[in-house]
Amino acid sequence: MVAYIVLVLGLVLNGAVLSNGGKTSTFVRKVEKTIDMPLDSDVFRVPPGYNAPQQVHITQGDHIGKAVIVSWVTVDEPAGSSKVLYWSENSKQKKLAEGKLVTYRFFNYTSGYIHHCTITDLKFNTKYYYVVGIGHTERKFWFITPPEVGPDVSYTFGLIGDIGQTFDSNKTLTHYELNPQKGQTVLFVGDLSYADKYPNHDNVRWDTCGRFVERSVAYQPWIWTAGNHEIDFAPEIGETEPFKPYTKRYPVPYEASRSTAPFWYSIKRASAYIIVLASYSAYGKYTPQYIWLRDELPKVNRSETPWLIVLMHAPWYNSYNDHYMEGESMRVMFEPWFVKYKVDVVFSGHVHAYERSERVSNIAYSIVNGKCIPVRDQSAPVYITIGDGGNIEGLATNMSEPQPPYSAYRESSFGHAIFDIKNRTHAYYSWHRNEDRYAVEADSMWFFNRQ
Helix axes 204-217, 167-178, angle to 10 degrees: 20
Q: Note whether 304 binds ligand NAG by CB under 6 A.
A: yes
Rounded Cα distance, 129 and 170, in Å: 26
Among 19, 91, 301, 379, the residue binding ligand NAG under the rule CB under 6 A is 301
Q: Note whether 139 binds ligand NAG by CB under 6 A.
A: no
170 is in the binding site of which of Fe ion, ligand NAG, none (Cβ under 5 to 8 A by kind)?
ligand NAG
Q: State the residue number with the nearest CB to Fe ion.
A: 350
Nearer to Fe ion, 122 or 189 (CB): 189
Q: Which of residues 148-187 bind ligand NAG (CB under 6 A)?
A: 167, 170, 174
- Mind giving me the DSSP string for 240-255? -STTHHHHHH----GG
Smallest CA-to-CA distance from 314 within 233, 385, 238, 395 is with 385
Q: 82 near 101, Cβ under 8 Å?
A: yes
Q: Note whether 303 binds ligand NAG by CB under 6 A.
A: yes
191 is in the binding site of which of ligand NAG, Fe ion, none (Cβ under 5 to 8 A by kind)?
Fe ion
Smallest CA-to-CA distance from 175 within 391, 437, 355, 445 is with 437
451 is in the binding site of which of Fe ion, ligand NAG, none (Cβ under 5 to 8 A by kind)?
none
Strand partners, 6: none
425 is in the binding site of which of ligand NAG, Fe ion, none (Cβ under 5 to 8 A by kind)?
ligand NAG
Nearer to Fe ion, 168 or 358 (CB): 168
**Would you put residue 22 in left (φ > 0), alpha (ψ -120 to 50) or beta?**
beta
Among 205, 244, 249, 350, the residue binding Fe ion under the rule CB under 5 A is 350
Q: Note whether 444 binds ligand NAG by CB under 6 A.
A: no
Distance in angstroms between the alpha carbons of the first and the last residue of the chain: 57
Name the one range near ligand NAG by CB under 6 A: 38-46, 250-258, 328-336, 350-358.
38-46
Count of C-beta atoms within a 10 Å radius of residue 80? 11
Among 20, 103, 398, 451, the residue binding ligand NAG under the rule CB under 6 A is 398
SS3 229: helix
**Would you put residue 162 in left (φ > 0), alpha (ψ -120 to 50) or beta?**
left
Name the one range near ligand NAG by CB under 6 A: 34-42, 58-66, 218-226, 288-296.
34-42
Q: Note whether 228 binds Fe ion by CB under 5 A.
A: yes
Q: Which of residues 85-124 bind ligand NAG (CB under 6 A)?
A: 108-109
* Backbone φ, ψ for residue 143 (5° rounding): -150, 165
Closest approach of Fe ion to the CB of residue 351, in Å: 8
Q: Write down the H helix ranges in 55-95.
A: none
Count residues near ligand NAG (CB under 6 A).
19
Among 1, 4, 42, 236, the residue binding ligand NAG under the rule CB under 6 A is 42
| Beta pairing class for 354-357 and 407-411 | antiparallel
Q: Note whether 451 binds ligand NAG by CB under 6 A.
A: no
350 is in the binding site of which of ligand NAG, Fe ion, none (Cβ under 5 to 8 A by kind)?
Fe ion
Q: Which of residues 237-256 bind ligand NAG (CB under 6 A)?
A: none
- Mind giving me the DSSP string for 324-340? TTTTHHHHHHHHHHHHH
Pattern 404-423, binding to ligand NAG, x per CB under 6 A? ------------------xx
Rounded Cα distance, 54 and 267, in Å: 27
Q: Which of 115, 229, 323, 416 is flagged as catalytic?
A: 323
88 is in the binding site of which of ligand NAG, Fe ion, none (Cβ under 5 to 8 A by kind)?
none
Rounded Cα distance, 97 and 85, in Å: 7
Q: 213 near 248, Cβ under 8 Å?
A: no
Nearer to Fe ion, 68 or 160 (CB): 160
Nearer to ligand NAG, 26 or 108 (CB): 108
Closest approach of ligand NAG to the CB of residue 424, in Å: 7
Q: Which residues of 140-174 are buried (b: 16+ CB within 10 A; e: fewer)?
A: ebebbbbbebebebebbbbbbbbbbbbebbbbbbe
Closest approach of Fe ion to the CB of residue 162, in Å: 6
Peptide bond into 47 cis (omega under 30): no
The residue type found at 249 is: R
Among 19, 120, 321, 379, the residue binding ligand NAG under the rule CB under 6 A is 321
175 included as an active-site residue: no
Q: Site residues (CB under 5 A) for Fe ion? A: 191, 227-228, 350
Catalytic residue positions, numbered: 323
Q: Site residues (CB under 6 A) for ligand NAG? A: 37, 41-43, 108-109, 167, 170, 174, 200, 301, 303-304, 321, 398, 422-423, 425-426
